[in-house]
A and B are shown apart, each in its own frame.
Chain A
Amino acid sequence: EAQVTQNPRYLITVTGKKLTVTCSQNMNHEYMSWYRQDPGLGLRQIYYSMNVEVTDKGDVPEGYKVSRKEKRNFPLILESPSPNQTSLYFCASSLDRQGVNGELFFGEGSRLTVL
């Protein structure tokens, strides 16, 4: 089954404790991206990757890091989480940056709470 898998789905952590949210896709997509979803703000792009070892900032990259060492994996790293990073995070993948016919494939989301 074609899918984007994120882990963990739910996480409560404390300010400053480094965490990583993993993302893996099995569709051989070159493009992967991270979004955060906040009420009233919609989906905002954090980082994206065109291919292995190629990453770039999205619209809200502050406080986040990513890496793309393998085509299928695109982890999101919060080096020193802060409460304003409490959000619902989605990983997405596609054949290219804007999706063939606008279609991005999203994971099921990771709800992060930073105390």
Chain B
Amino acid sequence: QQQVKQSPQSLIVQKGGIPIINCAYENTAFDYFPWYQQFPGKGPALLIAIRPDVSEKKEGRFTISFNKSAKQFSLHIMDSQPGDSATYFCAARVGSGNTGKLIFGQGTTLQVKP
């Protein structure tokens, strides 16, 4: 099953809160899990990514947690700021080189209130 299920669809937090976005997958052939961030009026851009042999990866205030046995991964934003308000997409890669592709989740619109 080449799907990535993302939740919630939308999320509102106060400044300083820790929004959590979850993604789940079925295909164990997925081997790389990037997250994309999209600001209003802009295209998505790579934010952070993780491989399945790692349980956690941090880059600044952004952390990916990965649970291989549960086939779930999540994005946490520490000390969230209004500037983090954006749409976030999880994705999963299957295959490699020119036989691979990225499968995107449904997206989560995050609003961080001042």
Instruction: Report the bound CA distance from A74 to B104 in whole Å.
Output: 21
B43, B91, B94, B101: the one within 8 Å of A109 (CB) = B43
The 6 A-B residue pairs with the shortest CB-CB distance in the complex, in nearest-first order:
A106-B43, A98-B100, A102-B34, A42-B106, A43-B104, A103-B46
Closest to B35 in A: A102
- Of residues 1 through 56 on chain B, the ones whose CB sits less than 8 Å from some CB of chain A are 6, 9, 32-34, 41-46, 49
Q: A40-B9, A42-B107 are known contacts. Are A99 and B44 too (CB-CB below 8 A)?
A: no
Contact B96 A98 (CB under 8 A): yes
Please name the residue on chain A nearest to B33 by beta carbon. A102
Interface size on B, residues (CB 8 A): 28
Flag whether A84 is at the interface (Cβ < 8 A). Answer: no
Known A-B contacts A99-B102, A102-B102; A109 and B97 likewise in contact (beta carbons under 8 Å):
no
- A104 contacts B99, C-beta separation under 8 Å: no
Residues of B within 8 A of A (CB): 6, 9, 32-34, 41-46, 49, 89, 91, 93-102, 104-107
Measured between beta carbons, the chain B residues less than 8 angstroms from A45 are: 101
Chain A residues with CB under 8 Å of chain B are: 4, 31, 35, 37, 40-45, 50, 90, 92, 96-99, 101-104, 106-109
B49, B95, B104 pick with most chain A CB within 10 angstroms: B104
How far is A98 from B98 in the complex, measured between Cα atoms in Å? 7
Which residues on the B side are within 8 Å of A97 (C-beta)? 95, 97-101
User: A7–B94 Cα gap in the complex (Å)?
Assistant: 31
